[in-house]
Structure 1
Amino acid sequence: MAEPIRVLVADDHAVVREGLRAFLELQEGIEVVGEAADGREAVETAVRLRPDVIVMDLVMPRLDGVAAMRELRESLPGARVIVLTSFLDDDKLLPALRAGAAGYLLKNARPQELARAVHAAHAGETLLDPVVATRLVETLAATGDEGPLDRLTPREREVLILIGHGVPNKLIARDLGLSEKTVKTHVSHVLGKLGVTDRTQAAVLAVRAGLVDSRA
Protein backbone atom coordinates (compact mmCIF):
# COMPACT_ATOMS: atom_id res chain seq x y z
CA MET A 1 0.00 0.00 0.00
CA ALA A 2 1.36 3.43 -0.98
CA GLU A 3 2.38 5.84 1.74
CA PRO A 4 -0.17 8.64 2.29
CA ILE A 5 0.57 12.14 1.03
CA ARG A 6 1.71 14.13 4.06
CA VAL A 7 0.05 17.56 4.12
CA LEU A 8 0.68 20.71 6.15
CA VAL A 9 -2.13 23.29 6.38
CA ALA A 10 -1.16 26.97 6.80
CA ASP A 11 -3.83 29.63 7.36
CA ASP A 12 -4.18 32.37 9.95
CA HIS A 13 -7.84 31.54 10.60
CA ALA A 14 -8.29 28.62 12.99
CA VAL A 15 -11.73 27.74 11.64
CA VAL A 16 -10.29 27.42 8.12
CA ARG A 17 -7.44 25.21 9.32
CA GLU A 18 -9.83 22.98 11.23
CA GLY A 19 -12.18 22.70 8.27
CA LEU A 20 -9.36 21.84 5.87
CA ARG A 21 -7.94 19.26 8.25
CA ALA A 22 -11.35 17.65 8.78
CA PHE A 23 -11.97 17.39 5.04
CA LEU A 24 -8.51 16.28 3.96
CA GLU A 25 -8.28 13.59 6.63
CA LEU A 26 -11.39 11.99 5.14
CA GLN A 27 -9.66 11.62 1.77
CA GLU A 28 -8.00 8.35 0.90
CA GLY A 29 -4.25 8.60 0.60
CA ILE A 30 -3.92 11.95 2.43
CA GLU A 31 -2.64 12.54 5.96
CA VAL A 32 -2.58 15.99 7.61
CA VAL A 33 0.63 16.07 9.65
CA GLY A 34 0.49 19.62 10.98
CA GLU A 35 -0.91 23.14 10.96
CA ALA A 36 0.56 26.64 10.96
CA ALA A 37 -1.10 29.96 11.81
CA ASP A 38 1.29 32.26 9.92
CA GLY A 39 3.98 32.20 7.27
CA ARG A 40 6.91 32.02 9.65
CA GLU A 41 5.38 29.11 11.53
CA ALA A 42 4.62 27.44 8.19
CA VAL A 43 8.28 27.52 7.18
CA GLU A 44 9.53 26.33 10.56
CA THR A 45 6.92 23.57 10.81
CA ALA A 46 7.54 22.42 7.24
CA VAL A 47 11.29 22.15 7.83
CA ARG A 48 10.61 20.12 10.98
CA LEU A 49 7.86 17.83 9.63
CA ARG A 50 8.96 17.69 5.96
CA PRO A 51 5.46 17.36 4.42
CA ASP A 52 4.97 16.37 0.79
CA VAL A 53 2.41 19.11 0.12
CA ILE A 54 1.65 22.40 1.87
CA VAL A 55 -1.78 24.03 1.52
CA MET A 56 -1.11 27.70 2.19
CA ASP A 57 -3.00 30.97 2.38
CA LEU A 58 -1.29 34.02 0.87
CA VAL A 59 -2.23 36.74 3.35
CA MET A 60 -0.87 35.79 6.78
CA PRO A 61 0.91 37.64 9.60
CA ARG A 62 4.66 37.64 10.27
CA LEU A 63 5.48 36.28 6.81
CA ASP A 64 3.13 36.23 3.84
CA GLY A 65 2.58 33.20 1.65
CA VAL A 66 4.81 34.32 -1.22
CA ALA A 67 7.74 35.08 1.09
CA ALA A 68 7.19 31.76 2.84
CA MET A 69 7.27 29.91 -0.49
CA ARG A 70 10.53 31.61 -1.43
CA GLU A 71 12.10 30.45 1.83
CA LEU A 72 10.71 26.95 1.41
CA ARG A 73 12.16 26.73 -2.09
CA GLU A 74 15.59 27.12 -0.47
CA SER A 75 15.11 25.12 2.73
CA LEU A 76 12.72 22.40 1.54
CA PRO A 77 12.85 22.25 -2.28
CA GLY A 78 11.02 18.93 -2.45
CA ALA A 79 7.82 20.29 -0.88
CA ARG A 80 4.98 21.31 -3.19
CA VAL A 81 2.85 24.31 -2.22
CA ILE A 82 -0.81 24.78 -3.14
CA VAL A 83 -2.10 28.31 -2.68
CA LEU A 84 -5.63 28.46 -1.28
CA THR A 85 -6.76 32.06 -1.13
CA SER A 86 -9.60 34.52 -1.65
CA PHE A 87 -7.46 36.77 -3.85
CA LEU A 88 -7.22 36.79 -7.64
CA ASP A 89 -5.27 40.05 -7.94
CA ASP A 90 -2.33 40.05 -10.34
CA ASP A 91 -0.05 41.26 -7.55
CA LYS A 92 -0.86 38.06 -5.64
CA LEU A 93 -1.26 35.54 -8.48
CA LEU A 94 1.90 36.17 -10.50
CA PRO A 95 4.33 36.41 -7.55
CA ALA A 96 2.88 33.20 -6.10
CA LEU A 97 3.38 31.29 -9.35
CA ARG A 98 6.87 32.72 -9.77
CA ALA A 99 7.68 31.66 -6.21
CA GLY A 100 6.92 28.09 -7.23
CA ALA A 101 3.27 27.42 -6.36
CA ALA A 102 2.22 23.98 -7.60
CA GLY A 103 -1.43 24.97 -7.56
CA TYR A 104 -3.61 28.04 -7.09
CA LEU A 105 -7.18 27.59 -5.89
CA LEU A 106 -9.74 30.08 -4.69
CA LYS A 107 -11.44 29.46 -1.36
CA ASN A 108 -14.80 29.03 -3.07
CA ALA A 109 -13.46 25.97 -4.93
CA ARG A 110 -15.27 22.70 -4.36
CA PRO A 111 -13.63 20.53 -1.67
CA GLN A 112 -12.95 17.74 -4.16
CA GLU A 113 -10.93 20.20 -6.27
CA LEU A 114 -8.60 20.69 -3.32
CA ALA A 115 -8.16 16.94 -2.89
CA ARG A 116 -7.43 16.63 -6.60
CA ALA A 117 -4.93 19.49 -6.37
CA VAL A 118 -3.10 17.74 -3.52
CA HIS A 119 -2.76 14.55 -5.55
CA ALA A 120 -1.73 16.51 -8.66
CA ALA A 121 0.91 18.47 -6.76
CA HIS A 122 2.33 15.31 -5.24
CA ALA A 123 2.54 13.81 -8.74
CA GLY A 124 4.57 16.79 -9.93
CA GLU A 125 1.72 18.44 -11.80
CA THR A 126 0.22 21.92 -11.52
CA LEU A 127 -3.49 22.55 -11.06
CA LEU A 128 -5.04 26.00 -11.35
CA ASP A 129 -8.60 27.01 -10.60
CA PRO A 130 -10.28 27.54 -14.01
CA VAL A 131 -10.94 31.19 -13.13
CA VAL A 132 -7.27 31.58 -12.19
CA ALA A 133 -6.08 29.93 -15.40
CA THR A 134 -8.19 32.27 -17.51
CA ARG A 135 -6.99 35.32 -15.58
CA LEU A 136 -3.39 34.18 -15.96
CA VAL A 137 -3.65 33.86 -19.73
CA GLU A 138 -5.31 37.28 -20.00
CA THR A 139 -2.67 38.91 -17.82
CA LEU A 140 0.28 37.35 -19.59
CA ALA A 141 -1.19 38.16 -22.99
CA ALA A 142 -1.52 41.79 -21.92
CA THR A 143 1.99 42.03 -20.46
CA GLY A 144 3.79 39.94 -23.04
CA ASP A 145 5.29 37.68 -20.35
CA GLU A 146 5.89 34.04 -21.13
CA GLY A 147 2.83 32.03 -20.22
CA PRO A 148 1.81 28.38 -20.10
CA LEU A 149 1.03 28.36 -23.83
CA ASP A 150 4.66 29.16 -24.55
CA ARG A 151 5.67 25.90 -22.87
CA LEU A 152 3.77 23.83 -25.44
CA THR A 153 5.66 22.14 -28.25
CA PRO A 154 4.48 22.87 -31.82
CA ARG A 155 2.69 19.51 -31.90
CA GLU A 156 1.02 20.13 -28.54
CA ARG A 157 -0.15 23.52 -29.80
CA GLU A 158 -1.71 21.80 -32.83
CA VAL A 159 -3.49 19.39 -30.51
CA LEU A 160 -4.72 22.28 -28.33
CA ILE A 161 -6.16 24.10 -31.34
CA LEU A 162 -8.08 20.98 -32.36
CA ILE A 163 -9.29 20.53 -28.77
CA GLY A 164 -10.49 24.12 -28.94
CA HIS A 165 -12.54 23.22 -32.00
CA GLY A 166 -14.10 20.31 -30.12
CA VAL A 167 -12.37 17.61 -32.16
CA PRO A 168 -12.26 14.20 -30.38
CA ASN A 169 -9.03 12.23 -30.01
CA LYS A 170 -9.88 9.77 -32.78
CA LEU A 171 -10.26 12.55 -35.34
CA ILE A 172 -7.21 14.43 -34.01
CA ALA A 173 -5.21 11.25 -34.61
CA ARG A 174 -6.52 11.03 -38.17
CA ASP A 175 -5.91 14.71 -38.94
CA LEU A 176 -2.35 14.70 -37.59
CA GLY A 177 -1.40 11.22 -38.79
CA LEU A 178 -0.80 9.93 -35.27
CA SER A 179 -1.99 6.95 -33.27
CA GLU A 180 -4.83 7.58 -30.83
CA LYS A 181 -2.52 6.54 -27.98
CA THR A 182 0.00 9.21 -28.98
CA VAL A 183 -2.77 11.80 -29.13
CA LYS A 184 -3.89 10.86 -25.62
CA THR A 185 -0.32 11.41 -24.43
CA HIS A 186 -0.19 14.82 -26.11
CA VAL A 187 -3.54 15.79 -24.57
CA SER A 188 -2.28 14.78 -21.12
CA HIS A 189 0.85 16.90 -21.60
CA VAL A 190 -1.21 19.87 -22.79
CA LEU A 191 -3.51 19.71 -19.76
CA GLY A 192 -0.55 19.40 -17.39
CA LYS A 193 1.38 22.31 -18.90
CA LEU A 194 -1.68 24.55 -18.91
CA GLY A 195 -2.54 23.61 -15.33
CA VAL A 196 -6.08 22.56 -16.20
CA THR A 197 -7.98 19.36 -15.48
CA ASP A 198 -10.09 18.74 -18.56
CA ARG A 199 -10.52 19.47 -22.26
CA THR A 200 -13.20 22.11 -21.68
CA GLN A 201 -10.85 24.25 -19.59
CA ALA A 202 -8.10 23.79 -22.20
CA ALA A 203 -10.51 24.87 -24.95
CA VAL A 204 -11.42 28.00 -22.99
CA LEU A 205 -7.75 28.92 -22.70
CA ALA A 206 -7.26 28.32 -26.42
CA VAL A 207 -10.11 30.71 -27.21
CA ARG A 208 -8.92 33.30 -24.69
CA ALA A 209 -5.41 33.18 -26.16
CA GLY A 210 -6.74 33.71 -29.67
CA LEU A 211 -5.71 30.28 -30.96
CA VAL A 212 -9.33 29.45 -31.75
CA ASP A 213 -12.00 31.76 -33.13
CA SER A 214 -14.92 31.49 -30.70
CA ARG A 215 -17.29 32.45 -33.52
CA ALA A 216 -16.23 29.49 -35.66
Structure 2
Amino acid sequence: MKVVIIDDHPLVRKGLTSILTLDETMEVLGEATNCKEAMDLFNSTKPDLALVDLRLANESGLDLITKAMKQGIDCKFVVLTSSIEEKDFMLAKEAGVDGYVLKEAFPEELIHALRIVNKGRKYYDPGVLDLAMRAIESIDENGDLEQLTPKEKEVLIELGKGHSNKEIAQSLFITEFTVKKHVSQILAKLSLTDRTQAALYANAKGLVTYIIH
Protein backbone atom coordinates (compact mmCIF):
# COMPACT_ATOMS: atom_id res chain seq x y z
CA MET A 1 0.00 0.00 0.00
CA LYS A 2 1.50 3.32 -1.11
CA VAL A 3 0.69 6.16 1.30
CA VAL A 4 1.23 9.93 1.44
CA ILE A 5 0.90 12.07 4.56
CA ILE A 6 -0.61 15.57 4.52
CA ASP A 7 -0.12 17.43 7.79
CA ASP A 8 1.27 20.84 8.70
CA HIS A 9 3.04 19.65 11.87
CA PRO A 10 6.56 18.22 11.30
CA LEU A 11 6.49 16.04 14.41
CA VAL A 12 3.16 14.52 13.43
CA ARG A 13 4.40 13.75 9.92
CA LYS A 14 7.57 12.11 11.21
CA GLY A 15 5.64 10.18 13.83
CA LEU A 16 3.16 8.86 11.28
CA THR A 17 5.97 7.89 8.92
CA SER A 18 7.67 5.96 11.72
CA ILE A 19 4.44 4.14 12.58
CA LEU A 20 3.52 3.22 9.02
CA THR A 21 6.97 2.02 8.04
CA LEU A 22 6.78 -0.55 10.83
CA ASP A 23 4.29 -2.36 8.60
CA GLU A 24 6.14 -3.96 5.71
CA THR A 25 3.05 -3.79 3.51
CA MET A 26 3.04 0.01 3.62
CA GLU A 27 5.32 2.44 1.81
CA VAL A 28 5.31 6.17 2.59
CA LEU A 29 5.91 7.94 -0.72
CA GLY A 30 6.12 11.46 0.64
CA GLU A 31 4.77 14.24 2.84
CA ALA A 32 3.10 17.61 2.26
CA THR A 33 2.22 20.51 4.52
CA ASN A 34 -0.43 22.39 2.52
CA CYS A 35 -2.92 22.01 -0.32
CA LYS A 36 -0.56 23.03 -3.14
CA GLU A 37 2.18 20.68 -2.00
CA ALA A 38 -0.40 17.93 -1.57
CA MET A 39 -1.78 18.27 -5.10
CA ASP A 40 1.76 18.17 -6.51
CA LEU A 41 2.46 15.09 -4.38
CA PHE A 42 -0.72 13.33 -5.54
CA ASN A 43 0.16 13.92 -9.17
CA SER A 44 3.79 12.91 -8.88
CA THR A 45 3.46 9.79 -6.71
CA LYS A 46 0.02 8.35 -7.57
CA PRO A 47 -0.59 6.97 -4.03
CA ASP A 48 -3.10 4.32 -3.06
CA LEU A 49 -4.10 6.26 0.05
CA ALA A 50 -3.69 9.75 1.48
CA LEU A 51 -3.73 10.42 5.22
CA VAL A 52 -4.97 14.01 5.53
CA ASP A 53 -5.13 16.29 8.57
CA LEU A 54 -8.55 17.92 8.92
CA ARG A 55 -6.98 21.34 9.45
CA LEU A 56 -3.86 22.40 7.56
CA ALA A 57 -2.83 25.71 9.16
CA ASN A 58 -5.20 28.18 7.46
CA GLU A 59 -6.47 25.62 4.95
CA SER A 60 -9.01 22.82 5.09
CA GLY A 61 -8.12 19.19 4.60
CA LEU A 62 -11.67 18.55 3.39
CA ASP A 63 -11.34 21.26 0.74
CA LEU A 64 -8.16 19.54 -0.41
CA ILE A 65 -9.88 16.17 -0.61
CA THR A 66 -12.83 17.62 -2.53
CA LYS A 67 -10.50 19.35 -4.98
CA ALA A 68 -8.46 16.19 -5.48
CA MET A 69 -11.56 14.13 -6.15
CA LYS A 70 -12.85 16.65 -8.68
CA GLN A 71 -9.51 16.56 -10.48
CA GLY A 72 -9.67 12.79 -10.73
CA ILE A 73 -6.99 11.90 -8.20
CA ASP A 74 -7.48 8.14 -7.87
CA CYS A 75 -6.68 7.34 -4.27
CA LYS A 76 -8.49 6.76 -1.02
CA PHE A 77 -8.65 9.52 1.57
CA VAL A 78 -8.49 9.08 5.33
CA VAL A 79 -8.97 12.08 7.61
CA LEU A 80 -6.77 12.21 10.68
CA THR A 81 -7.97 14.64 13.33
CA SER A 82 -8.19 15.48 17.01
CA SER A 83 -11.73 16.79 16.49
CA ILE A 84 -14.71 14.86 17.83
CA GLU A 85 -17.11 17.60 16.82
CA GLU A 86 -20.22 16.17 15.18
CA LYS A 87 -20.14 18.89 12.51
CA ASP A 88 -16.60 17.96 11.42
CA PHE A 89 -17.46 14.28 11.18
CA MET A 90 -20.65 14.97 9.23
CA LEU A 91 -18.81 17.24 6.78
CA ALA A 92 -16.09 14.65 6.28
CA LYS A 93 -18.62 11.91 5.65
CA GLU A 94 -20.56 14.10 3.21
CA ALA A 95 -17.30 14.85 1.39
CA GLY A 96 -16.98 11.14 0.72
CA VAL A 97 -13.88 10.36 2.76
CA ASP A 98 -12.98 6.70 3.11
CA GLY A 99 -11.96 6.92 6.74
CA TYR A 100 -12.03 9.13 9.83
CA VAL A 101 -9.41 8.44 12.49
CA LEU A 102 -8.78 10.30 15.73
CA LYS A 103 -5.22 11.33 16.56
CA GLU A 104 -5.59 9.69 19.96
CA ALA A 105 -5.78 6.28 18.25
CA PHE A 106 -3.11 3.70 19.03
CA PRO A 107 -0.61 2.94 16.23
CA GLU A 108 -2.11 -0.52 15.66
CA GLU A 109 -5.59 1.05 15.34
CA LEU A 110 -4.34 3.43 12.65
CA ILE A 111 -2.71 0.61 10.69
CA HIS A 112 -5.89 -1.46 11.03
CA ALA A 113 -7.94 1.47 9.75
CA LEU A 114 -5.75 1.91 6.69
CA ARG A 115 -5.95 -1.80 5.90
CA ILE A 116 -9.75 -1.68 6.11
CA VAL A 117 -9.88 1.33 3.77
CA ASN A 118 -7.41 -0.23 1.36
CA LYS A 119 -9.80 -3.18 1.03
CA GLY A 120 -12.45 -0.80 -0.25
CA ARG A 121 -14.48 -0.36 2.92
CA LYS A 122 -15.18 2.64 5.12
CA TYR A 123 -13.61 3.05 8.54
CA TYR A 124 -14.86 5.40 11.26
CA ASP A 125 -12.97 5.58 14.53
CA PRO A 126 -14.90 3.87 17.35
CA GLY A 127 -14.53 7.15 19.23
CA VAL A 128 -16.92 8.87 16.84
CA LEU A 129 -19.59 6.30 17.59
CA ASP A 130 -20.40 8.54 20.53
CA LEU A 131 -21.60 10.99 17.89
CA ALA A 132 -23.97 8.35 16.66
CA MET A 133 -25.42 7.89 20.10
CA ARG A 134 -26.05 11.63 20.40
CA ALA A 135 -27.59 11.70 16.95
CA ILE A 136 -30.19 9.10 17.90
CA GLU A 137 -30.96 10.19 21.46
CA SER A 138 -34.51 11.10 20.54
CA ILE A 139 -35.32 7.75 18.94
CA ASP A 140 -37.67 5.43 20.79
CA GLU A 141 -35.66 2.41 21.90
CA ASN A 142 -38.66 0.08 22.12
CA GLY A 143 -38.39 -2.25 19.16
CA ASP A 144 -37.39 0.41 16.64
CA LEU A 145 -35.36 -1.97 14.48
CA GLU A 146 -38.25 -4.43 14.48
CA GLN A 147 -40.19 -1.92 12.41
CA LEU A 148 -37.89 -2.57 9.46
CA THR A 149 -38.42 -5.29 6.90
CA PRO A 150 -35.50 -7.70 6.32
CA LYS A 151 -34.58 -5.88 3.11
CA GLU A 152 -34.75 -2.47 4.80
CA LYS A 153 -32.39 -3.76 7.48
CA GLU A 154 -29.97 -4.92 4.78
CA VAL A 155 -30.09 -1.47 3.21
CA LEU A 156 -29.50 0.13 6.62
CA ILE A 157 -26.39 -2.00 7.10
CA GLU A 158 -25.12 -0.90 3.69
CA LEU A 159 -25.76 2.72 4.64
CA GLY A 160 -23.73 2.12 7.76
CA LYS A 161 -20.82 1.07 5.58
CA GLY A 162 -21.03 4.40 3.77
CA HIS A 163 -22.16 2.93 0.47
CA SER A 164 -23.94 4.95 -2.21
CA ASN A 165 -27.34 4.02 -3.62
CA LYS A 166 -25.62 2.59 -6.70
CA GLU A 167 -23.30 0.45 -4.58
CA ILE A 168 -26.20 -0.75 -2.43
CA ALA A 169 -28.21 -1.65 -5.53
CA GLN A 170 -25.32 -3.71 -6.89
CA SER A 171 -24.67 -5.39 -3.56
CA LEU A 172 -28.30 -6.35 -2.89
CA PHE A 173 -29.27 -7.00 -6.54
CA ILE A 174 -32.05 -4.43 -6.59
CA THR A 175 -32.59 -1.23 -8.56
CA GLU A 176 -31.43 2.20 -7.42
CA PHE A 177 -35.08 3.29 -7.42
CA THR A 178 -35.89 0.48 -4.98
CA VAL A 179 -32.93 1.50 -2.81
CA LYS A 180 -34.26 5.07 -2.66
CA LYS A 181 -37.68 3.78 -1.58
CA HIS A 182 -36.11 1.65 1.15
CA VAL A 183 -33.99 4.55 2.38
CA SER A 184 -37.07 6.77 2.61
CA GLN A 185 -38.92 4.09 4.58
CA ILE A 186 -35.94 3.60 6.92
CA LEU A 187 -35.71 7.32 7.66
CA ALA A 188 -39.45 7.55 8.29
CA LYS A 189 -39.68 4.47 10.52
CA LEU A 190 -36.63 5.38 12.62
CA SER A 191 -37.36 9.13 12.77
CA LEU A 192 -34.02 9.98 11.20
CA THR A 193 -33.41 13.13 9.17
CA ASP A 194 -30.99 11.88 6.50
CA ARG A 195 -28.81 8.98 5.35
CA THR A 196 -25.86 10.26 7.41
CA GLN A 197 -27.89 9.82 10.59
CA ALA A 198 -28.98 6.41 9.30
CA ALA A 199 -25.33 5.43 8.86
CA LEU A 200 -24.49 6.63 12.36
CA TYR A 201 -27.50 4.78 13.73
CA ALA A 202 -26.44 1.53 12.04
CA ASN A 203 -22.98 1.79 13.55
CA ALA A 204 -24.27 2.77 16.98
CA LYS A 205 -26.55 -0.28 17.00
CA GLY A 206 -23.62 -2.54 16.18
CA LEU A 207 -25.00 -3.57 12.79
CA VAL A 208 -21.73 -2.73 11.07
CA THR A 209 -19.34 -4.85 13.04
CA TYR A 210 -16.13 -4.60 11.03
CA ILE A 211 -15.15 -1.21 12.46
CA ILE A 212 -15.43 -2.26 16.12
CA HIS A 213 -12.54 -4.28 17.53
TM-score, normalized by length of structure 1? Answer: 0.64
SS at 1:78 equivalent: coil
Shift in alpha-carbon separation, 1:71–1:14, aligned structure 2, 3 A: same
Q: 2:59 aligns with which of 63, 73, 83?
A: 63
Deviation at 1:118, TM superposition (A): 1.2
Matching residue's letter, 1:111: P
Shift in alpha-carbon separation, 1:7–1:110, aligned structure 2, 3 A: same
Counterpart residue number, 2:161 = 193
Is 1:120 the equivalent of 2:116?
yes
Deviation at 1:205, TM superposition (A): 1.3
Contact between 2:78 and 2:99, CA under 8 Å: does it hold in 1?
yes
User: Whole-Å Cα distance in 2 between the matches of residues 153 and 77 of structure 1?
Assistant: 39
Counterpart residue number, 1:169 = none
Shift in alpha-carbon separation, 1:91–1:34, aligned structure 2, 3 A: same
Counterpart residue number, 1:93 = 89
Which aligned runs of 4 or more in structure 1 are off by greater than 6 angstroms? 189-192
Deviation at 1:75, TM superposition (A): 1.9
Counterpart residue number, 2:5 = 9
Counterpart residue number, 1:182 = none
Deviation at 1:128, TM superposition (A): 0.8
1:69-102 CA-partner distances (Å, limit 9, x unpaired): 1011112342111111001112311111111111
Counterpart residue number, 1:186 = none
Deviation at 1:32, TM superposition (A): 0.3
Write the mapping of 1:1-216 to structure 2, written as runs, cut at 5 A.
Answer: 5-61=1-57, 63-136=59-132, 138-139=134-135, 141=136, 154-155=150-151, 157=153, 193=161, 205-206=204-205
User: Whole-Å Cα distance in 2 between the matches of residues 203 and 70 of structure 1?
Assistant: 26
User: Whole-Å Cα distance in 2 between the matches of residues 191 and 27 of structure 1?
Assistant: 31
Shift in alpha-carbon separation, 1:47–1:204, aligned structure 2, 3 A: closer
Deviation at 1:204, TM superposition (A): 7.2
Matching residue's letter, 2:161: K
Q: How many residues align?
A: 163
TM-score, normalized by length of structure 2? Answer: 0.65
SS at 1:12 equivalent: coil
User: Whole-Å Cα distance in 2 between the matches of residues 102 and 47 of structure 1?
Assistant: 19
User: Structure 1 regions of 5+ residues with no counterpart?
Assistant: 161-188, 196-201, 208-216
Deviation at 1:19, TM superposition (A): 0.5
User: Whole-Å Cα distance in 1 between the matches of residues 118 and 152 of structure 2?
Assistant: 24
Shift in alpha-carbon separation, 1:95–1:108, aligned structure 2, 3 A: same
User: Structure 2 regions of 5+ residues with no counterpart?
Assistant: 140-144, 164-200, 207-213
Deviation at 1:192, TM superposition (A): 7.1
Q: Aligned residues: percent identity?
A: 34
Deviation at 1:156, TM superposition (A): 7.8
Contact between 2:100 and 2:124, CA under 8 Å: does it hold in 1?
yes
User: Whole-Å Cα distance in 2 between the matches of residues 14 and 75 of structure 1?
Assistant: 27
Shift in alpha-carbon separation, 1:60–1:72, aligned structure 2, 3 A: same
SS at 1:83 equivalent: strand
Contact between 1:47 and 1:75, CA under 8 Å: does it hold in 2?
no
1:129-173 CA-partner distances (Å, limit 9, x unpaired): 11213314533x4799xxxx9xx9835838x9xxxxxxxxxxxxx
SS at 1:48 equivalent: helix
Contact between 2:20 and 2:26, CA under 8 Å: does it hold in 1?
yes
